[in-house]
C-alpha cells in the first residue's frame, strides 16, 4: 500500500468517526510528548495531568515514571540528568542501556519543539480517556462512562496553575501550645527527625540499631520505654548474613513467634548520594508501603557503606548525602537512623564533615566498656529539642540458634541484656591536642580574646566578636610558613570538632572554649 492510499484510508476512517481520528494519532502525540519532556525535563510539571498508565506505549510509561522519580529525588532535573533516566529505565526494564539510549535519542530528534508540552499532554490524556470510555461502553458500565466524560470536561480545570500555600503561619494561628512529640521510642527517637548512633567498629551499634528497629516494627516496648508500631526499612550495607542471625536471635529471645511484623531488610547497600539509586530506593519503598502504610523508621547501616561516591570529609559531598537523607525523611515523615563510625583521631565524635552533626536532631555514642569489653554503653551526645534521655548499658550475651552449619557446628548470635549493675561511665575525652594543632588553636583563642576585650572596652557585646579565616591564617604564619600545612591543620581542627567554618568566619566550638 503506497502513502497516498494509506492516507486516503486514514482520512476516510477519520470522517466516519472523529474520535477514532484522535486515537489514530495517539502514537505520534505520545512520542512528541515524551521527546519534549526528555529534551526539556525541567518542564515535567507542564505534563502533570498525565499518569504513566495514560500512555499506550509501555516504554513511554517507564520513561515518564523514571523521570518523575528522579525529579522527586533531586528536587528537579535538567538535560544533564538524561543519563540517569536512561540508567533507571534500563534497570527497570532489564534491557541494555544502549538500547534505551537509542530510544531516547530518537524521541528527542523527532521532537520539533518544547513549547507545546501542555497541549500535547491534553491530547494524550483525551485519547486515554477515549479508550477508557470505549471499554466502559462495551462493558455496559454507564456510571463509568459518565465519570470518564466528566473527567474529560474537567481537563481544563486541571491545567490551571496550582495555588501555592504560603510557607508562613501567622502568630495568631499557631496556638498557645506546641504540638505533642510524636515518639517512636519514648524519650529516645521521634518521627520526622534524623538521628545517629556512632561508635568504633565492633562496638555493638548495629546490635542496638536492629534492636530498635525490630522493637518498633513489632510494637514491643524498648526496655521500659513505650514504642509506637510502624513499618521499618533497614538498609544494610554490610554483614547481611550476621543480621539474619541477629534478627532470629532477637525474635526468639523476645518470644515472638509470628513473622508478620512490617520489617524489611535490604539485600545490599544504596549509594544515597547518587540520584538514580535514591530514586530506585524510593520506588521500592513506595511499592511496599501500598500494602503496609508509611514507614516510621528507616535505618541506614552504615553511613560509609551507603554514602556513594565522594569523600565523607568533604562538606560538598556530605551535603549531597544529607540532602538524600532529608528527601527520605520529608517524603515519609519518618525517623532516619544513621549508623556511623567514630573519627580516626577523635573518638568523641562521628567521623567526616561536621556538616552531618549540624543536620542531626539526636545523636548517641556507643562504646564498649569494662575489661572484657562485653558491656555496651549508649550515651546521648546531642538532643536538638529534647532533654538528654538516660544512658543505657547492656551485656552482649551469646544466643544459640536451633541450627547447625554444613559441618554440624551450632549456629549462634547474640542479644542485648540490660545490665543495671554496671554503673554508667562518662565517655573518655580525646587526649589533649599537641604540636601545631594545639598552637594553632591557641592562636585563634587569643585573637578572639583580644576582639572580645576590644568590644567590651567600647561598651559593645563581646559575643559579637568575629574572626575571619584569613585573619587566623595570617596569624598562623608565625607557626609555619608552609601554606599547605597550615590549611591541613585548620581542616584537622574542623574534623576533630574544635572549630567550625562559616565563610568568611571561623568559630570556636564549645569543645574548644
User: What number is the average pLDDT over the span 286-305?
Assistant: 91
121-125, 269-273, 497-501: least confident range = 497-501
- For residue 8, the model assigns a pLDDT of 38
- For residue 371, the model assigns a pLDDT of 55
User: What number is the average pLDDT over the span 378-391?
Assistant: 93
294 pLDDT higher than 80: yes
Q: Which cell goes with 125? A: 490524556
HSE-up of residue 317 (Cα within 13 Å, Cβ side): 14
DSSP state of 433: P
Residue that wins the pLDDT comparison between 395 and 347: 395
Q: Is 109 exposed, middle or buried (0-12, 13-18, 19+ CB in 10 A)?
A: exposed
Residue that wins the pLDDT comparison between 6 and 503: 503
Tell me the three-class secondary structure of 142-211, residue by residue: HHHHHHHHHHHHCHHHHCCCCCCCCCCCCHHHCCCCCCCCCEEECCCEECCCEEEEEECCCCCHHHHHHH
* Cα–Cα dist 5/315, whole Å: 66
Q: Are strands 375-383 and 392-404 parallel, antiparallel or unpaired?
A: antiparallel
* Cα–Cα dist 267/244, whole Å: 11
User: What number is the average pLDDT over the span 116-129?
Assistant: 85
- For residue 21, the model assigns a pLDDT of 41
- At residue 402, the 3 state secondary structure works out as strand
Selection from 18-22, 240-244, 364-368 with the highest mean pLDDT? 364-368
HSE-up of residue 20 (Cα within 13 Å, Cβ side): 9
User: What number is the average pLDDT over the span 124-141?
Assistant: 86
Q: What is the pLDDT of residues 45-88, one digit of tens each?
A: 888 888 888 998 999 999 999 999 888 877 788 888 899 999 99
* Cα–Cα dist 381/151, whole Å: 55
| Cβ-proximal residues to 153 (8 Å cutoff; 6+ apart), any chain | none
165 pLDDT higher than 70: no
End-to-end CA distance of the chain: 87
User: What number is the average pLDDT over the span 343-358?
Assistant: 80
383's enclosing H/E stretch is strand 375-383
- For residue 179, the model assigns a pLDDT of 78
Confidence class for position 3, pLDDT limits 50, 70, 90 = very low
User: What number is the average pLDDT over the span 352-377?
Assistant: 86
Closest CA to 249 of 368, 403, 372, 367: 403
- For residue 248, the model assigns a pLDDT of 95
Closest CA to 471 of 486, 482, 454: 486
DSSP state of 463: G
- For residue 427, the model assigns a pLDDT of 54
Closest CA to 189 of 243, 226, 234, 233: 226
377 pLDDT higher than 50: yes
- Residue 35: φ, ψ to 5°: -60, -40
33-42, 56-65, 248-257, 338-347: least confident range = 338-347
Residue that wins the pLDDT comparison between 30 and 300: 300
225, 211 contact by CB (below 8 A) = no
Give the percent of the chain with pLDDT over 70: 88
- For residue 38, the model assigns a pLDDT of 93
232 pLDDT higher than 70: yes
* Cα–Cα dist 205/416, whole Å: 11
- For residue 363, the model assigns a pLDDT of 96
Confidence class for position 157, pLDDT limits 50, 70, 90 = low
- For residue 2, the model assigns a pLDDT of 42
* Angle (CA) 109 110 111, round 5°: 90
Count CB-CB contacts under 10 A for residue 366: 22
227, 221 contact by CB (below 8 A) = yes
- For residue 135, the model assigns a pLDDT of 87
Closest CA to 313 of 350, 339, 347: 350
- For residue 4, the model assigns a pLDDT of 40
277, 270 contact by CB (below 8 A) = yes
Q: Are strands 194-199 and 362-369 parallel, antiparallel or unpaired?
A: parallel
Question: How far, in whole angstroms, is CA 194 from its chain's centroid?
Answer: 10
116 pLDDT higher than 80: no
Confidence class for position 508, pLDDT limits 50, 70, 90 = confident
Q: What is the mean pLDDT of the chain?
A: 85
275-284, 417-426, 459-468: least confident range = 417-426
- For residue 5, the model assigns a pLDDT of 37
Using CA atoms, how far residue 473 sits from 242, 357, 463, 489, in Å, is 49, 25, 22, 10
28 pLDDT higher than 80: yes
Give the percent of the chain with pLDDT over 90: 43
DSSP state of 133: H
- For residue 112, the model assigns a pLDDT of 75
Q: What is the pLDDT of residues 397-440, one digit of tens each?
A: 999 999 998 889 999 999 999 998 766 666 544 456 788 888 89
User: What number is the average pLDDT over the span 221-241?
Assistant: 91
Amino acid at each position: 500500500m503506497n502513502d497516498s492510499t494509506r492516507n486516503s484510508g486514514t482520512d476516510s476512517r477519520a470522517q466516519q468517526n472523529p474520535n477514532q481520528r484522535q486515537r489514530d494519532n495517539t502514537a505520534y502525540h505520545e512520542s512528541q510528548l515524551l521527546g519534549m519532556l526528555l529534551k526539556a525535563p525541567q518542564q515535567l510539571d507542564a505534563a502533570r495531568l498525565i499518569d504513566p498508565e495514560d500512555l499506550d506505549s509501555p516504554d513511554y510509561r517507564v520513561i515518564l515514571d523514571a523521570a518523575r522519580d528522579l525529579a522527586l529525588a533531586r528536587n528537579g532535573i535538567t538535560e544533564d540528568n538524561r543519563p540517569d533516566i536512561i540508567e533507571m529505565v534500563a534497570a527497570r526494564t532489564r534491557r541494555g542501556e544502549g538500547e534505551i539510549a537509542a530510544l531516547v535519542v530518537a524521541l528527542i530528534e523527532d521532537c520539533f519543539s518544547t513549547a507545546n508540552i501542555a497541549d500535547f499532554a491534553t491530547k494524550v490524556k483525551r485519547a486515554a480517556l477515549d479508550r477508557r470510555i470505549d471499554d466502559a461502553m462495551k462493558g455496559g458500565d454507564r456510571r463509568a462512562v459518565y465519570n470518564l466524560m466528566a473527567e474529560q470536561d474537567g481537563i481544563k480545570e486541571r491545567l490551571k496553575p496550582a495555588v501555592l500555600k504560603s510557607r508562613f503561619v501567622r502568630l495568631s494561628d499557631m496556638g498557645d501550645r506546641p504540638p505533642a512529640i510524636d515518639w517512636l521510642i519514648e524519650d529516645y527517637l521521634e518521627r520526622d527527625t534524623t538521628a545517629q548512633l556512632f561508635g568504633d567498629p565492633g562496638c555493638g551499634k548495629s546490635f542496638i540499631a536492629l534492636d530498635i528497629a525490630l522493637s518498633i516494627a513489632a510494637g514491643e516496648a524498648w526496655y521500659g520505654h513505650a514504642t509506637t508500631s510502624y513499618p521499618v526499612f533497614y538498609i544494610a550495607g554490610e554483614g547481611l548474613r550476621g543480621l539474619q542471625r541477629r534478627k532470629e536471635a532477637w525474635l526468639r529471645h523476645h518470644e515472638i513467634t509470628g513473622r508478620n511484623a512490617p520489617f524489611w531488610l535490604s539485600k545490599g547497600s544504596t549509594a544515597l548520594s547518587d540520584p538514580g539509586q535514591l530514586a530506585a530506593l524510593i520506588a521500592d519503598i513506595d511499592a511496599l508501603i501500598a500494602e503496609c502504610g508509611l514507614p516510621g523508621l528507616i535505618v541506614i547501616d552504615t553511613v560509609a557503606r551507603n554514602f556513594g561516591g565522594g569523600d565523607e570529609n568533604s562538606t560538598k559531598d556530605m551535603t549531597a548525602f544529607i540532602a538524600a537523607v532529608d528527601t527520605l525523611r520529608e517524603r515519609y515523615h519518618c525517623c532516619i537512623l544513621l549508623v556511623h563510625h567514630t573519627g580516626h583521631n577523635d573518638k568523641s565524635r562521628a567521623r567526616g564533615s561536621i556538616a552531618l552533626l549540624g543536620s542531626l536532631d539526636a545523636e548517641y555514642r556507643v562504646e564498649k566498656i569494662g575489661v572484657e569489653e562485653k558491656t555496651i554503653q549508649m550515651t546521648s551526645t546531642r538532643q536538638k529539642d529534647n532533654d538528654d534521655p538516660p544512658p543505657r548499658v547492656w551485656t552482649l550475651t551469646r544466643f544459640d540458634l536451633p541450627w547447625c552449619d554444613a559441618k554440624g557446628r551450632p549456629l549462634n548470635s547474640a542479644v542485648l541484656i540490660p545490665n543495671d549493675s554496671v554503673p554508667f561511665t562518662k565517655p573518655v575525652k580525646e587526649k589533649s591536642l599537641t604540636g601545631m594543632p594545639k598552637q594553632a588553636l591557641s592562636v585563634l583563642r587569643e585573637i578572639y580574646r583580644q576582639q572580645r576585650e576590644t568590644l567590651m572596652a567600647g561598651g559593645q557585646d563581646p559575643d559579637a566578636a568575629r574572626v575571619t579565616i584569613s585573619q587566623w591564617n595570617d596569624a598562623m604564619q608565625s607557626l609555619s610558613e608552609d601554606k599547605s600545612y597550615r590549611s591541613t591543620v585548620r581542616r584537622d581542627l574542623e574534623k576533630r570538632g574544635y572549630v567550625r567554618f562559616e565563610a568568611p568566619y571561623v568559630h570556636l566550638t564549645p569543645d574548644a572554649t
